[in-house]
């Protein structure tokens, strides 16, 4: 492991620790420091393998920052203005992560930013699931983009609990399955509590939205929550 990668990994670890303590500002600052290091390497090298490695690191760093901003937005201590601001920052971070994620797909399937950039858009404008224009001017055919994520995952099937959780959520959002059948594959994997909690952290805010499938999302959250150890 090079010194640069080691330092990036250290910064990401420190950022996650502070994020878990809700020290949002400090966590974001650490991630931006890691992003700065990775971007400097990414733009200064002509070596394809090293550039791809940095693309993977940047996809991960931006993804973690997107998740941090989403948590910050949903923190009960955040007011309406802060919620809006941090959801917008979350989308921006996931969008940037998605651009690097596309470059790093050659080393394996990774749809974290690809999916979460859409889920946060729904938190900001739930109507985007049914139309391509949100009330506040946002434009994107989210349903069509969710279909692309589902197709991407299906073409690169893995036995990962994370992939199973993503597909379950996608199948509910796209009205392909109900809550009971959607999460059957996920449950067969006997996911650890931290994976179950991660799925719940995504489900619960979506279930609170005015969506046609809100009842199924609530049912899914209830089922997952009931099986925690």
Kindly list the domain boundaries of the chain, sorted by start residue: 1-124, 126-229
By 3-state DSSP, what share of the chain in percent is helix, strand and coil, each rounded to 5? 75, 0, 25
Tens-digit pLDDT profile for residues 138-150: 778 899 999 999 9
At 133, give phi and psi (nearest 5°).
Answer: -140, 125
Q: pLDDT value at position 137? A: 64
C-alpha 9/C-alpha 39 separation (Å) is 14
C-alpha 63/C-alpha 162 separation (Å) is 15
- Residues 101, 214, 151: CA angle, nearest 5 degrees: 35
Is pLDDT of 106 > 50?
no
Tens-digit pLDDT profile for residues 155-178: 876 778 999 999 999 999 999 999
* Residue position matching structure tokens 């950022």: 15
Q: pTM for this structure?
A: 0.92
At 111, give phi and psi (nearest 5°).
Answer: -120, 20
């Amino acid at each position: 492991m090079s010194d640069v990668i080691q330092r990036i990994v250290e910064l990401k670890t420190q950022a996650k620790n502070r994020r878990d303590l809700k020290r949002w500002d400090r966590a974001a600052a650490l991630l931006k420091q890691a992003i700065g290091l990775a971007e400097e390497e990414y733009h200064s090298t002509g070596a394809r393998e090293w550039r791809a490695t940095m693309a993977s690191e940047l996809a991960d760093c931006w993804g973690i920052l997107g998740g941090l901003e989403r948590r910050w937005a949903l923190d009960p201590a955040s007011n309406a203005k802060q919620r809006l601001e941090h959801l917008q920052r979350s989308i921006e971070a996931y969008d940037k992560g998605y651009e690097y994620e596309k470059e790093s797909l050659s080393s394996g399937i990774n749809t974290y930013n690809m999916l979460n950039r859409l889920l946060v858009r729904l938190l900001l404008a739930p109507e985007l699931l049914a139309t391509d224009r949100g009330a506040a001017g946002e434009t994107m055919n989210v349903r069509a983009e969710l279909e692309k994520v589902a197709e991407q995952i299906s073409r690169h099937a893995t036995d990962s609990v994370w992939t199973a959780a993503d597909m379950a959520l996608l199948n509910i959002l796209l009205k392909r399955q109900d809550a009971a059948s959607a999460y059957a594959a996920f449950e067969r994997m006997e996911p650890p509590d931290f994976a179950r909690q991660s799925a719940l952290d995504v489900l619960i805010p979506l279930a609170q939205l005015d969506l046609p499938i809100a009842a199924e999302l609530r049912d899914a959250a209830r089922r997952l929550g009931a099986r925690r150890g």
